[in-house]
Amino acid sequence: MSFIEPTGRRDVVEYRFPQGPSEFWLAQAAGIDAEVAQYFLVSARCGCFMQAARSLNVRATQLRKHLAQLEDQLQRSLFKSQGSALTLSRDGQQLQAQLIALVHERKLPVIEQPLIRLAVAESILHDILGRDLVSLLRRNASVRLDIISLDSELSLRAISADVVVWLAGTDSPLPGPSFAISEPQRLARLDYLPHIAKRYSRVAARPDSLGDLADFMLVQWQHDRQVTAFCPWNSLVEQRLAGVVQLHSYELMLEMIRCSACIGLLPHYMSQFDRGLVALPGLFKQPMQRQVWMAVNADSRNEAEVQGIVELIYNTFSERREWFEG
């Protein structure tokens, strides 16, 4: 740096840079590794290292390490804390402006995530896979995932997806997806039984025969009316002249069983999912069973992101295997 004295202003001293601040930061920005630049820009945008790490799908410690190395490289402090908020220092703002300019000029790569389409039977999505999918999104906020809820055979035949999880007979995956898929894999066999909320039924007063159901409201998910395996239950519901509620929402059906003293047909694992519900075995002599099947789109089955979703599904069913035994 050198000092200059403007003409007629001997009381003012200015600093002269060998190059202007913009040129300095442009040169620095151009020399930063693309991945580290991405870490910096996302952290600046989020104002939170933890959220930035989620968005980038990296550990927060890894993110902080790279940013600390960047500050050492530039010999500048790029961030400052104001209470609980993370903001950019003046130097950080200069670097951010130059990096954004480089991004707009396509001199920094934009990391695009592939879109993964996951189609899942509505009950399986709600009861089994929903929690682990939420955990996936908590760990990786940059994922592009299109989740399709399958509530009928028609919707299964109409969709196109990378991974499909659906319900069919125990001996055959048909009817299945209409597009080319890998060989369907069995995930679990489900037995279906009438269920009631514990708080609305004392043990001694719970129905143990079909005749005892006359004093209870029955609730049916409309999708189940088309399932051949549920003929014993569907016949009972169709014979009712009163005390029946038909619903198009699986979640609302569950809520009515929990809160309205209704009896509805649910998978036998439901008492594991919701401890407030109890199964009523022995009412029907004929078992009502379905199989959970999974298949992968033949065109995208080798993609790493698709394999990651497949692994998540396998792990979920493996961790809950006691739900499906007995």
The 10s digit of each residue's pLDDT in 244-303 is 999 999 999 999 999 988 999 999 999 999 999 999 999 999 999 999 999 999 999 999
For the chain, the first-to-last Cα distance in angstroms comes to: 80
100 plus 145 within the same structural domain: no
List, for residues 293-314, the tens digit of each pLDDT value.
Answer: 999 999 999 998 999 999 999 9
Domain count, the chain: 3
Helix-helix angle 34-46:90-104, to 10 degrees: 120
Q: Report the pLDDT value the prediction gives residue 153, as an integer from 0 to 100.
A: 86
The enclosing domain of 194 has a CATH number of 3.40.190.290
34 plus 95 within the same structural domain: yes
The answer to the question of residue 26 being in a domain is yes
The answer to the question of residue 177 being in a domain is yes
Q: Which range has the worst mean pLDDT, 22-31, 38-47, 133-142?
A: 22-31
The answer to the question of residue 110 being in a domain is no
182 plus 295 within the same structural domain: yes
20 plus 81 within the same structural domain: yes
Going by pLDDT thresholds of 50, 70 and 90, the confidence category of residue 109 is low
171 plus 309 within the same structural domain: yes
Q: Report the pLDDT value the prediction gives residue 106, as an integer from 0 to 100.
A: 53
Query: Which tokens hold the place of 171?
Result: 């001996």
Q: Which residue has the higher pLDDT, 250 or 22?
A: 250
The answer to the question of residue 109 being in a domain is no
Residue 105, judged by CB atoms within 10 A of its CB (0-12, 13-18, 19+), counts as exposed
Domain that holds residue 294: 115-189+290-324
Output the CA torsion 46→50→51→54 (10° steps).
130
Q: Report the pLDDT value the prediction gives residue 12, as an integer from 0 to 100.
A: 41
224 plus 143 within the same structural domain: no
64 plus 153 within the same structural domain: no
Average pLDDT, stretch 40-55?
85
Going by pLDDT thresholds of 50, 70 and 90, the confidence category of residue 86 is confident
Residues forming beta bridges with residue 14, ordered by sequence position: 4
Q: d(Cα 255, Cα 250) in Å, to the nearest integer? A: 9
The enclosing domain of 42 has a CATH number of 1.10.10.10
List, for residues 200-246, the tens digit of each pLDDT value.
Answer: 777 666 788 888 888 899 999 999 999 999 999 999 999 999 999 99
Going by pLDDT thresholds of 50, 70 and 90, the confidence category of residue 45 is confident
* Residue after which a domain boundary falls, among 76, 104, 132: 104
DSSP class of residue 18 equals S
185 plus 294 within the same structural domain: yes
3-state helix, strand, coil in the chain (%, to 5): 45, 25, 30
* Residue after which a domain boundary falls, among 83, 104, 125: 104
